[in-house]
Amino acid sequence: MQLVPKTKLTPEFDPILEKIILDVGGMKCAGCVNAVERQLTQHPGVKSACVNLATEVAVVESETGAVDADALAQRLTAVGFPTQPRKPNGTVADEISTLPDPAERQRKEMRSSFRQLAIAAILLLLSGSGHFGNLGSSVLPVLNNIWFHCGLATVALLIPGRPILVDGWLGWRRNAPNMNTLVGLGTLTAYVASLVALLFPKMGWECFFDEPVMMLGFILLGRTLEQQARGRAAAAFRKLLALQPQVAQLIANPEKGGMGSSSVEIPAEQVRVGEWVQVLPGDKIPVDGEVVVGKTTVDESMLTGEAVPVIKQPGDMVTGGTLNQSGAIAIQTTRTGNDTTLARIVALVEAAQTRKAPVQKLADTVAGYFTYGVLTASVLTFVFWYFFGTHIWADVSMSGGMEMMSHATHEAPHSSLLISLKLAIAVMVVACPCALGLATPTAILVGTAMGAERGLLIKGGDVLEKVHKLNTVVFDKTGTLTTGNPIVTDCLLIEEMGSKELHSPLPSTDAINRVSAYSLIQLAAAVESGTHHPLAKAIQQEAQQQQLSIPEAVEFHTEPGLGVSAVVEGKVVLLGNWDWLSWHGIAINETAQQVAQNLATDGKTVVCVAVGGALAGLIAVSDPLRPDAQSTVDKLRQMGLRVMLLSGDRQEAANAIAKQLGLDSADVIAGVPPAKKAAAIQALQNEGLGTRDWGLGKILPNPQSSIPNPQSVVAMVGDGINDAPALSQADVGIALHSGTDVAMETAEIVLMRDRLNDVVESIQLSRATFNKIRQNLFWAFAYNTVGIPLAAGVLFPSLGFVLNPSGAAALMAFSSVSVVTNSILLRRLAHHP
């Protein structure tokens, strides 16, 4: 049976499921989010939908070709949420191209909010001046006229309040009541009750036309502040979007004139792979590519967060969106459009903002039924106070603008109606699902955008929650803790091992006996020419430094994590570890084993070389630690995390590296090939955690506890290439950017700066962001837990205090503003989690 190579499928390139991104307008609270998600998931072919209130984006997963994005957009638009789909090139569908883009829509909404707020503020000032008594009437007598206040309330409802009333009615009609439904019912009820009192004065009712004016004023003030705060929260992400170049200077005939030939300006998205593009000093590089002509310095801070420019010359790779600073260059395109590094970063950051933390599920569940619950509470409040409360506590007078004379209940039964009505209105207005809906997305929006600024790509709220629970961090050795640029330090022939010093310097070509007319290094370099492993690179570099010719090798075979073989001049040459040679039936004498063990004890990786079925010699390779490896490990342990080392190298070599880092041998897992690293991570996840020895960072058994120990929550840090299965298996996969493609697809946190210290920074940022989410959710739940009973009059019997409708509106507006503002404060606290 012939084996067909399998290609790893990722969410970005899954042939079964596709993602549709929609820009959704008209969402005001968590109830709206729930309504939009329900509309999307009910559409045939849709597998899942996730909606973000802060960014007004919906991500829909469906079977490929089963769902029309335009049909989804039209469905949402029809039920009151103006929507447009994003096409692969970033444009909208032709048939709905009349809709403004999201940024323009937000600007228009902001301008409209300011206009409505200005009108509401004037009406609020005029309405409130009536409370100044003689002072107001002496300046403008009409301020004490009840018909004037009736007119103010009418204008407030018709102009600044009209969008709220209309949206609230539409929400009610489509069986998805939202915050505007509650506010609209409250203001209309107060207005109608006051109008009845004005038209039928004999009923003896009180007119409170100032209440709807003040309610609308406070609510509009809160929403305007909230919009501004949300704009600030999204500023970093908009900055990331703005980095995407729009145009490119295409060199039409590079084979004729090179960079000096004429160029033509075209949209960057129209550049094709393989074409040449000219980039002048001061221009953004429009696509990913390789420098073919010229030399310059490039500002890559948008990608890595590093302010120091990087020198680029022919053969170097450049990234779209980075800034060319000093010289004119020509680049040959390797990636365009949505395949560029920047475009994929933008897509990852945006997708991260729609991935919800599990802690948000409770908030979403509550928000889905919130409006119905509030309406029920409002009705129960009215029933209780009208039929029971005002009779039980008839001698208590109300404060906060609601007066009740000591025997009003008996002398004027209508007072019970007004009192009960005002309390019911306050309950409707004080409740705020907005805070619940904004708690998670605003914090994730700020956190992920901040991470992108610093070269830390965190893929979503669920990742943040898992990072918060981490207790173990496992590092791959080669290319992660080490530089990934090893060098050959020793080259020993099997005949020399008994007579030469075990750690002699690297012998010269003349000092090495010939094997089939070629030196050991030459043979090894020939075999390694068929692989791209860091050890292969070290051996080939050594051969080049000695200016040795490389013989031709054929019939390459590689076994990841074990070794490689090839045929050189008719003889089979094997390079690899003990297991690789043993599997091929090659005997290893005790002297060679002792030499290899001594080399490994010094932290060197030993490569065995066999020629024609017999061991020919050993090559030792050393891969130095990264400069920041020690500080990274120390900081992680100070944060209370267990730090471990996972390596395919021999136990002695792995222990030597661990010793340099101050790790205990119990925290070293060695001799694990890439294919089995995922199983090693899984075994570690299933391991119980006992008493933690913080000094050594090891786990000790806890014999005094009969309670099963909790499982390890493991983060795996790797280079994103050979470690892909382990990164996927770990609770949190953290990949250095050296393996860009696989890292972005497999890991949940990608470190774009390829700097080990960023492991610490990413965990700190994740913890700080998740703490903000918990603070926001606590405030949102606590606010409603306290606010609703307060508005229902729970303190009225004991303290005579009640929250009037306008005060309830002010508190409601404040809750949303406070949640968003708390998220923005993450920018100050991220460095001190």
User: Active-site residues: which are they?
Assistant: 476
CA–CA separation, 453 vs 240, rounded Å? 8
DSSP-assigned letter for residue 98: T
* Beta bridge partners of residue 718, listed in sequence order: 735
Tallying the residues shown for the chain, one arrives at: 833
Other beta carbons within 10 angstroms of residue 714's beta carbon come to: 24
CA–CA separation, 426 vs 410, rounded Å? 24
CA–CA separation, 67 vs 479, rounded Å? 43
Torsion of CA 822, 824, 827, 829, to 10 degrees: 0
Burial class (CB in 10 A: 0-12, 13-18, 19+), 561: buried
Distances, alpha carbon 590 to alpha carbons 580, 581, 593, in Å: 17, 15, 5
DSSP-assigned letter for residue 711: B
Secondary structure (3-state) at 401: coil
CA–CA separation, 648 vs 677, rounded Å? 9
DSSP 466-528: HHHT--EEEEEIIIIIB-S--EEEEEEEGGGTTTS-TTPPPP-STTSPPBTTB-HHHHHHHHH
- Which structure tokens are listed for 335? 């990636």
DSSP-assigned letter for residue 697: T
Burial class (CB in 10 A: 0-12, 13-18, 19+), 664: middle
Chain-centre distance of CA 502, in angstroms? 51
* Beta bridge partners of residue 699, listed in sequence order: 692
Instruction: Tell me the backbone φ, ψ of residue 17, rounded to 5 degrees.
Output: -110, 145
CA–CA separation, 458 vs 448, rounded Å? 6
CA–CA separation, 250 vs 597, rounded Å? 58
Picking from 434, 444, 398, the residue whose alpha carbon sits closest to that of residue 784 is 434
Task: Tell me the one-letter amino acid at 664.
Answer: D
CA–CA separation, 528 vs 575, rounded Å? 8
Other beta carbons within 10 angstroms of residue 39's beta carbon come to: 23
DSSP-assigned letter for residue 563: E
- Which structure tokens are listed for 303? 């990608």
